[in-house]
Structure 1
């Protein structure tokens, strides 16, 4: 589905734009310059796009902004076609998943944006989980746009019934609270055995990694002592509920399990609360949120950051207009509008305050400050497709030797990350 938001500027306005030095050149024929933005379906509401487009064109006379909505399915091939200059479609700015940037850098065709990030976009305050995967070999290609991550969603009534008045702030308090909540038919937490997104945060909290790069080669690192400690904490927490050891959070959907009313906590994006309430309207107003606790009370636990970056194809004929477009999208005004409209986390730690009135988004923002991303390999998507982490987690939870299971998974990761396409 494509939506086109286009305003026609008069020749007089275009001429004014040239003399005013707004930073966007009009088309060579003396008419308007058209800048094309690709956004992914569901990333921004129609209302946001319409308001942003009108404002951008007002602030940049002589520029028409065309927004095209793209589907996630098959987007990789479409983006690569644009970067290679193949096919009829083109774009000047493209929204991509934060962990996709490395693969587009590998295939070539992205414009470097390091200087703009430093000079104009405040890169020193960017969320690490968005900015790190957008940087390859010290050069910035992806500009953070918005983030989302997992938090703990909890049943306030069950917490009150267990005498827990405030959410836990560290792992020790979290385990103690969950032990109180895990009684009879009630589950302290529903944590399926193969939720590797959650495991990644625990591994990082211990100082471990999923994989590391050395001398141009990637090596799976799950069998490192620190990574093993992260898996050990996952096992301890997972035992305080009845989550299946051989399935992930979608089998069955954990929101549906929570909605039955006998689960005290799940780890999920705040948006799952809407699914829970839809399945059980009696839980409306009874759901709370807190960041995944870290090892100490002074900061939240590490989380896997999801979200999007903005990139500029090197082949764009409108680089100046593309830079202006990103400048607007990452401005405080539009970061605030996007975060509040979509319940996202803004792209900077300094903007976390703009979602303080939204309990779920505020919990996300606290976690996002400790956010990380998957290894910066263009082949990481292939690791997720094969996903040796899931059978590794099940093996440990069902009593197999953790070190041997981790070694097997690490070897598979190394093979995939270093294989030729």
Structure 2
């Protein structure tokens, strides 16, 4: 899943404030100095998932615990990653540990390429993993990956513009829509809400909040379900919100990078992830005191809307010849100290609710935590990976046509046919 579009741009800003580090609490029993000599553990991490200080700490702890072994951390780009990982998992000598998007776990399980982690769950700290975050790692009730981090989309807003409009964060969706109308007529506001038309992650949240999903299971077969009344209603809400700004109808949040648009100072709000704040400040440091956050409001006060919970899991290749080292790496990477340091460096939510204290003072995290318990994922369908392959029919056949004036029911019917075809590819 493409969910960290600009994190690399903001890494330097975020890392400046990171001082937490691990004390090596996972080192465990000492081993003979030569017992792992010459062993190399290959770890694939996605670009943006590898903050330098965290990588250095985990590497040092790993090499202390396994003397003579080294860890080769290889950064992977997002373009074509699903095909690359699928091929790698089928290799005789695959990467040992792989960072996988939480929407893709079920797809990789069907290849037979991921190790069943059920027997190792306790040693990896699984007893206290967040149930909401861990749902994406389970396939047929078995643990095929470890939850690493995630983030809910919430609203980043320009406090200066909202104050000019004499508004405060809304408690309900109706109030937010009313506020956006006021903001659209406030001097200095170019977009009350900047919402790219192909931001399907945001749409998926509205869809889940309406009680529906992108797919449905009928007669033991998964099919597209964008024609459902709830999905049509979610599309109409998305269109209403998108009209409060000047974001393109036929592009996603990376084209242009929405955080750089927000940094111009004339966007009142946008649906965003926490790491995007660093990109805003890198483009416009003067906005340091202007950025605020609130959960996407739901229909009733006190209950945020459901959102898509995007993030990453760590998995071990079933063909790994370094299973002990791979499991040891996961235990070190996911221990409380390193998990806390990771989320401090990136702004994502940790895999344990008990570690939220690591994000004290982080306004994004405070908003995202309110939504996390209710947040959801895309359907855990093995063929889901085919759905996300470009061109994604959710946006190309449905969202953009609806925003451009096509009848939602007709667009949904066309999109569902495409979804059915993608799912049938297996």
Q: CA deviation at 1:220?
A: 0.6
Q: Which residue of 2 aligns with 1:132?
A: 135
Query: 1:40 and 1:106 mapped to 2: Cα distance?
Result: 21
Query: 1:108 and 1:26 mapped to 2: Cα distance?
Result: 35
User: Is the CA contact 1:127–1:368 (under 8 Å) kept in the aligned structure 2?
Assistant: no
Residue 354 of structure 1, aligned match among 341, 355, 358: 358
User: Is the CA contact 1:24–1:63 (under 8 Å) kept in the aligned structure 2?
Assistant: no
Q: Which residue of 1 aligns with 2:336?
A: 332
Query: 1:110 and 1:289 mapped to 2: Cα distance?
Result: 37
Partner-residue secondary structure (3-state), 1:191: coil
Q: Which residue of 2 aligns with 1:405?
A: 411
Q: In structure 2, do the counterparts of structure 1 residues 178 and 77 end up closer, same or farther at CA, with 3 Å as the change threshold?
A: closer
Q: CA deviation at 1:396?
A: 2.7
Deviations along 1:149-188, one digit per CA (max 9) or x if unpaired, are 42211111111111123x2233123222222212066232
Q: Which residue of 1 aligns with 2:8?
A: none
Query: 1:91 and 1:254 mapped to 2: Cα distance?
Result: 34
RMSD: 2.9
Q: TM-score, normalised by structure 2?
A: 0.82
Residue 195 of structure 1, aligned match among 199, 219, 232: 199
Q: Which residue of 1 aligns with 2:75?
A: 70
Instruction: Note if 1:171 corresponds to 2:154.
Output: no
Question: Comparing 32-41 with 62-71, which one deviates more in the overlay?
Answer: 32-41
Q: TM-score, normalised by structure 1?
A: 0.83
Q: Which residue of 1 aligns with 2:17?
A: none
Give the aligned length: 395
Q: Which residue of 1 aligns with 2:393?
A: 388
Q: In structure 2, do the counterparts of structure 1 residues 155 and 217 end up closer, same or farther at CA, with 3 Å as the change threshold?
A: same
Deviations along 1:68-105, one digit per CA (max 9) or x if unpaired, are 2231245445544543343xx54332222222222221
Q: Which residue of 2 aligns with 1:212?
A: 216
Q: In structure 2, do the counterparts of structure 1 residues 133 and 236 end up closer, same or farther at CA, with 3 Å as the change threshold?
A: same
What does 1:96-107 align with in structure 2 at a 5 Å threshold? 96-107=100-111
Partner-residue secondary structure (3-state), 1:99: coil
Higher relative contact order (CA 8 A, sep 6+): 2
Q: Which residue of 1 aligns with 2:23?
A: none
Residue 146 of structure 1, aligned match among 145, 149, 153: 149
Q: Which residue of 2 aligns with 1:229?
A: 233
Structure 2 gaps, min length 5: 1-26
Q: In structure 2, do the counterparts of structure 1 residues 85 and 286 end up closer, same or farther at CA, with 3 Å as the change threshold?
A: same
Query: 2:207 and 2:185 mapped to 1: Cα distance?
Result: 28
Query: 2:81 and 2:116 mapped to 1: Cα distance?
Result: 21
Q: Quick check: which has more Rg, 1 or 2? A: 1
Query: 1:32 and 1:404 mapped to 2: Cα distance?
Result: 60
Query: 1:277 and 1:31 mapped to 2: Cα distance?
Result: 45
Instruction: Note if 1:305 corresponds to 2:309.
Output: yes
Q: In structure 2, do the counterparts of structure 1 residues 356 and 256 end up closer, same or farther at CA, with 3 Å as the change threshold?
A: same
Residue 60 of structure 2, aligned match among 54, 61, 71: 54
User: Is the CA contact 1:40–1:70 (under 8 Å) kept in the aligned structure 2?
Assistant: yes
Q: In structure 2, do the counterparts of structure 1 residues 123 and 170 end up closer, same or farther at CA, with 3 Å as the change threshold?
A: farther
Query: 1:230 and 1:379 mapped to 2: Cα distance?
Result: 24
Q: In structure 2, do the counterparts of structure 1 residues 101 and 301 end up closer, same or farther at CA, with 3 Å as the change threshold?
A: same
Structure 1 gaps, min length 5: 1-19
What does 1:32-47 align with in structure 2 at a 5 Å threshold? 34-47=40-53
Question: Comparing 303-312 with 352-361, which one deviates more in the overlay?
Answer: 352-361
Instruction: Note if 1:343 corresponds to 2:360.
Output: no
Q: CA deviation at 1:32?
A: 7.3
Query: 2:41 and 2:68 mapped to 1: Cα distance?
Result: 7
Residue 276 of structure 2, aligned match among 258, 272, 276: 272
